[in-house]
């Protein structure tokens, strides 16, 4: 296969269709999402970005995105590694991160700066054991600002989830999969103390409900609210006829991993981030 990688900041209509087709085929063959949803969204919505397209006989056969939001990070469709592409990107960026999804090669042990667990559970029919708490569904027009405050406080040190703004949230709730009934807010009086946002993956081989974002305000931790939010999220997933749940969690978050295991989650794969430095 040709190693002809081409850089672009805008995709033609034909390229977009071909790349979306490539990503969809990889979704099917891998049995998982082939690329992070934020990177896929750039292609779906024809948004500008920093793209690399691999061409063979005038047909896109590979795709990668470089996110320059903070420290540059790269992900290829499929979640693999390409040495030629790595060298090309290194010519522009002396230091960058490379996402590897569900890989088992030598790259995993080299220069790793982060690991992310993907976990699943087939036990979504849970018995609720909740503290005294009020639960309501998210109302986009009324709850957006206070949810951002609560969530960003909970993820203040997180490289991705702690920097959401109103535009980021609006992009998510405009997606076809968004269902406000699966976005649950936990309140003490009028104070938003925790939340659990779920996402149903309708086109997975097995319909799966993801614990998409779960968080507890740091001023209200230690009250069992994380477990309560998780149980409510699982109940919401089950109520929509879905019998498998999934989530991602940083491998360094031992307390969260222990809680998820207690609720029947098991690790399916590890995704890793390598720091590439010239």
pLDDT in tens, 192-207: 999 999 999 988 888 9
If one counts every other C-beta atom within 10 angstroms of the C-beta of residue 43, the result is 22
Q: Say yes or no to pLDDT of 1 above 50.
A: no
Task: Look at residue 107 in the predicted model and tell me its pLDDT.
Answer: 54
The pTM of this model reads 0.89
Q: How many CB atoms lie within 10 A of CB 261?
A: 13
pLDDT reported for residue 99: 96
> CA–CA separation, 194 vs 197, rounded Å?
10
How far lies 44's CA from each of 14, 15, 20, 80, 224, in Å? 12, 11, 7, 21, 39
- pLDDT of 104 reads 62
**In angstroms, how far is CA 188 from the centroid of its own chain?**
28
Cβ atoms within 10 Å of 210's Cβ, excluding its own? 23
Is residue 126 over pLDDT 80? yes
What's the Cα-to-Cα distance from 113 to each of 25, 98, 121, rounded to whole Å? 30, 10, 27
Q: Are 60 and 22 in contact (CB under 8 A)?
A: yes
Compute the average pLDDT of residues 237-250: 96
Q: How confident is the model at residue 109 (pLDDT cuts 50, 70, 90)?
A: low
Other CB atoms within 10 Å distance of the CB of residue 34: 22
- pLDDT, residue 79, reads 95
Question: What does the pLDDT average to over 79-103?
Answer: 94
Strand partners, 120: 246, 266
The pLDDT tens digits for 127-184 are 877 778 999 999 999 999 999 999 999 998 876 777 889 999 999 999 999 999 999 9
Characterize 175-198 residue by residue with b for buried, 16 or more Cβ atoms within 10 angstroms of its Cβ, and e for exposed.
Answer: eeebbeebbbbbebeeebbbbbbb
């Amino acid at each position: 296969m040709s190693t002809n990688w081409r850089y672009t900041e805008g995709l033609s209509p034909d390229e977009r269709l071909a790349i979306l087709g490539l990503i969809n085929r990889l979704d099917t063959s891998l049995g998982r999402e082939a690329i992070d949803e934020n990177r896929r969204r750039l292609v779906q919505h024809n948004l500008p970005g920093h793209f690399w397209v691999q061409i063979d006989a005038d047909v896109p056969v590979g795709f990668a995105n470089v996110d320059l939001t903070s420290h540059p990070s790269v992900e290829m469709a499929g979640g693999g590694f390409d040495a030629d592409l790595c060298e090309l990107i290194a010519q522009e960026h002396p230091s960058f991160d490379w996402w590897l999804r569900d890989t088992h090669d030598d790259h995993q042990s080299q220069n790793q700066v982060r690991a992310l667990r993907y976990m699943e559970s087939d036990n979504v029919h849970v018995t609720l054991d909740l503290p005294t708490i009020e639960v309501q569904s998210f109302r986009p027009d009324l709850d957006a600002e206070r949810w951002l405050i609560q969530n960003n406080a909970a993820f203040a040190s997180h490289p991705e989830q702690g920097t959401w703004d109103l535009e980021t949230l609006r992009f998510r709730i405009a997606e076809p999969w968004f269902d406000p009934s699966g976005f649950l807010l936990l309140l003490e009086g009028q104070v938003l103390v925790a939340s659990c946002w779920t996402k149903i993956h309708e086109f997975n081989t097995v319909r799966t409900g993801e614990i998409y974002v779960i968080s507890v305000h740091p001023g209200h931790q230690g009250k069992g609210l994380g477990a309560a939010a998780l149980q409510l999220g699982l109940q919401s997933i089950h109520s929509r006829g879905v019998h498998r749940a999934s989530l991602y969690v940083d491998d360094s978050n031992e307390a969260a991993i222990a809680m998820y295991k207690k609720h029947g989650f098991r690790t399916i794969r590890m995704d890793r981030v390598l720091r590439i430095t010239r």
